[in-house]
Amino acid sequence: MGVRHPFGIQPTDWAFVAALDGITPQLVSASVLTLWNAQTGGSQITDLTADSAGLEPITTLTASDGTDGYTAGQIEQFWGPEDVTSMWISADAGGRLLLTCTDVADMAVSASSAAADANAAAASVAATVAGLDLGDLADVDTSGVTDGSVLVYDSGASMWEPGSASGLADGAVTTAKLADNAVTTIKIADSNVTIAKIGASTFNTQVQLSRLDQMAAPTASVPFNSHKATGLAAGTASGDALSYGQSAAALTAPVITGAATAVDLVMTGKLVVGSDALSVVSSHVSTDASTGNYFRVACTANFTLDNPTNPTDGQTIEWEFVQDGTGSRVMTLGSAFALGTDITVATLTTTANKRDFLVARYNSTATKWYIRGFIKGY
């Protein structure tokens, strides 16, 4: 438990309030005194007693009225909360002044005495320890100690005795018994770590059993010495290796994507351009030029071939028009199609199930699809 400190009855402990002029201090008797933990604001302190043991609580603290053995206006003796040595006091809700406990001097003497005792005890221990060596310890035997000796505990004799590290049983020192990072390359000289000391077979076995992902990433090219890398998974992202199965599939059915460059492209074999199917919707056929270059149109009603969307300058598109089983379907060209002097009309064959072909090239400057071919009747 803490200590309650006494307050009041010091030469400076009197109750004053401001006189009528608001400036001159006026001594008052029987005024109500309140204690606080701050000069302004803060919280009122009510844990006040008339004895040091805290057995006689004070409900209301007042300045003396002169009938209790004290001089009128004097602050009577009382005890504050445990371990509180100063408080802010106010008379009749007036301004607050700092009030300190009356046993400050006693506290200083006590602290000084305790410090002196502690210093003396420390000096005594230091003097005792200074005169000791390892052999003075009751459970340590230093007889026969030579340079480089180590102490080994003998459980039978309950003593630490001179010995050597070679006395450790195999497996006595394990990674579980060593603190993390206790053994570092700084503590072990490089010259002391050799294949011979590690055990060549053990070292080689450990390396052979380790996976590549457990080792540090290489910082230079890794030669395979004319051997194959086998068991590769199919690459799925940039930087992945291409497996043999992937490369064979790519060569069997290559797909060319992206923009052309100013490099000659030499190809052998077949160039197959697949067709996209179009249909008549609400008397219109819509072509998205960004999706292909060859479109097959099922003619199931009269229609307008709308201007293709998303074209590229110089792009050529071929349309194949197939009359249905009824035939006589009529086509009207969109406003962006232009006919020349060789091909002046593009009228579909009306015979059922017959096919006609229309070829046009786009010019972005003129915003036109120039019809370069129209053959019919297949």
DSSP for 264-309, please give it. -----S------EEEE-BTTEE--BGGG-SEEEEEE-S-EEEPPPB
Q: Residue 40 has what pLDDT?
A: 94
pLDDT of 138 strictly over 90:
no
Contact 378, 355 (CB under 8 A): yes
pLDDT in tens, 183-197: 666 666 677 777 666
First to last CA, the chain: 113
DSSP result, 301-346: S-EEEPPPBS--TT-EEEEEEEE-SS----EEE-TTEE--SS----
Between residues 339 and 196, which one has the greater pLDDT? 339
Q: Residue 140 has what pLDDT?
A: 85
Measured CA to CA, the distance from residue 315 to residue 293 in angstroms comes to 8
Measured CA to CA, the distance from residue 180 to residue 45 in angstroms comes to 53
DSSP element (H, E) containing 203: helix 200-209
pLDDT of 166 strictly over 60:
no
Angle at the Cα of 41 from the Cα atoms of 103 and 89, rounded to 5 degrees = 30
pTM, to two decimals: 0.36
Question: What type of residue sits at position 237?
Answer: A
Q: What's the half-sphere exposure (Cβ side, CA atoms, 13 Å) at 144?
A: 9
Rg of the chain over CA atoms, in angstroms?
53
Question: What type of residue sits at position 131?
Answer: G
pLDDT of 359 strictly over 80:
yes
Average pLDDT over residues 98-124: 83
For the ranges 2-16, 38-52, 117-131, 162-176, the lowest mean pLDDT is seen at: 162-176
pLDDT of 24 strictly over 70:
no
The single-letter DSSP state of residue 57 is B
The single-letter DSSP state of residue 254 is -
Encoded tokens for 178: 């060593």
Measured CA to CA, the distance from residue 103 to residue 194 in angstroms comes to 73
DSSP element (H, E) containing 106: helix 104-130
Q: Of 190, 18, 155, 186, which Cα lies nearest the Cα of 92?
A: 18
Q: Of 95, 77, 68, which Cα lies nearest the Cα of 7?
A: 77
Encoded tokens for 229: 């890398």
What does pLDDT average to over the chain? Answer: 84
Average pLDDT over residues 326-353: 96
pLDDT in tens, 264-291: 667 676 666 778 999 999 999 999 999 9
Q: Residue 200 has what pLDDT?
A: 62
What is the pLDDT confidence band of residue 168, given thresholds at 50, 70 and 90? low
Q: Residue 275 has what pLDDT?
A: 82
Please give the share of the chain, as a percent, with pLDDT higher than 90: 40
Encoded tokens for 34: 């309140």
pLDDT in tens, 77-93: 999 999 999 999 998 88
CB atoms within 10 A of CB 6: 16
